[in-house]
Amino acid sequence: MQRKRIVKVGLALASVSIGAYYNKEIRDGSIGLLRFGRTAVAVGEIMLDYKQSLYSKTVDVASAEYAKTRSEVHLRSAQRLLKLCEKNGGAFIKVGQHLGALDYLLPFEYVSTMKVLHSQAPQSTYEDVLDVIKQDLKCEPTEVFRVIEKIPLGTASLAQVHKAELNDGKVVAVKVQHPLVKAYSAIDITSMEVLVNLASWVFPDLKLEWLVRETKRNLPCELNFMMEGENAEKTARLMKHLPWLHIPKVYWNLSTTRVLTMEYCDGFEIGTLGQGENPEFEPFKKEISQKITQLYSDMIFLHGYVHCDPHPGNLKVELDKQGKLHIHLLDHGLYAQLPTEFRENYAKLWMSIIRSNVHEIEEVSEKLGVKGFHGIFACMVSGRSWNAILGGIDKQKKTLEEEKEIKDDAAKYLAEIMQVLHRVPREMLLVFKTNDLLRGLNSTLGVKNNIASFVTMSRSCANAHYLKQYSNCKSLTCKVSVTVSHYITHFKITAYELLLWWASWWTN
């Protein structure tokens, strides 16, 4: 009876929503109704499960029985959510992938369940792929491509990539948007918006409006592949000082808003290295971690132009004939342009965390909009516990006990964490996502306490601080003083790096 009531409510909400959006780019209103109704039913079942299993019983929240029941409800709910994302696809997959990266915020059951969406996104048929290419390039695919491989190199929430060969023999990668993603994006976002608001009303501590807001803002950009090509070329220009980094070339004459043709990159996805494959890269794992940290630190602290989707499938590694490591950065659909003031404050925040300067952490946190939540904010940024920050995150490795403490605190301070996410600038949300994915990459590589990566980030912070001070100088004396101070800072970082290496060698 309760299930039927949920279905009726879901369909009623769906009809109201579709009435407002019916004239938008939706191919079939009945399918839009089905997608919204499916979402309403799933969310209703999840809310009902929590109400019946946890909130309607008088059980001691500190008891083992409550913990067991809560874990079971989390798992059931996560599986329902996963099933919904897989059925609806498109924007739902995108949001599900984001949830799978929020291990500092969501329970383990959700994160572990939703993570599969990074590698198991729904796949369009080969015929659909050819049809999109034909529609967008205004010609038969055979007029341009000698061959397009039927099995995609990878499938994501919005598109899939096929290896192909042009008629002149050049090997390329063709990214083709799933046919119905753009058509259903409006109704999908509306579905999520209405139902997240409903969930927040039932569970006041669960404030996920920020996630829908960011998806609503970012999705149109990600659905425009011409913008992705422009992002790739801009990144190649900004990062040309990194000789080991490669950004694939864009073939503009074979690219549209739904089809992106780029140079094909050899190499191995980083995700495969964590599975024991490609043992020749085993000695390079720490170097890979260090280089990726340098890449993203320079993006954030120096240029303020940040690639926001660094999951394992978007980074390939390759060894050249001389045995030197090269990294290919793929999928440039989502970038964040960080305002100068935000970038400077974020760099200052990191330096204050590294120095365990609580007063400065509090001061910068207020500038970033989270007054009164500086402790939780610092933990979310660094991925470390407050005790570790106070003791110096550069002086102690992250232990299993600390990881458990972080998980326990995430559950204990859920309301406060949601407040932080609600208050911070939108740029911070994208940086959070990027940080989460980068920590996931290090975990995949089995490199959780890489001293070189920590020092690399410190150098980028110091460089950003130097550039700000130098640009404010009005006299030669000031410029000389700032430059000397800059070199002293780097000397201290180098000396500290040697000390950390020695301590690490001695303890091992």
Backbone torsions φ then ψ of 176, nearest 5 degrees: -125, 125
Assign residue 124 a region (left: φ > 0; alpha: ψ between -120 and 50; beta: otherwise). beta
CA neighbor of 438 nearest in space, from 294, 247, 248: 294
CB of 273 closer than 8 Å to CB of 322: no
CB of 181 closer than 8 Å to CB of 89: yes
DSSP string, 83-127: HHHHHH-THHHHHHHHHTT-TTTS-HHHHHHHGGGGT------HH
User: 183 CB contacts (<8 Å, ≥6 apart)?
Assistant: 25, 26, 27
The pairing of strands 171-177 and 315-319 is unpaired
Indicate the residue type of 362: E
Task: Output the six-digit token pair for 482.
Answer: 């700032």
Number of C-beta neighbours around residue 276 at 10 A:
8
Distance CA 191, CA 43 (A): 11
| Catalytic center residues | 309
DSSP string, 473-493: --SHHHHHHHHHHHHHHHHHH
Name residue, tokens 């397009």.
148
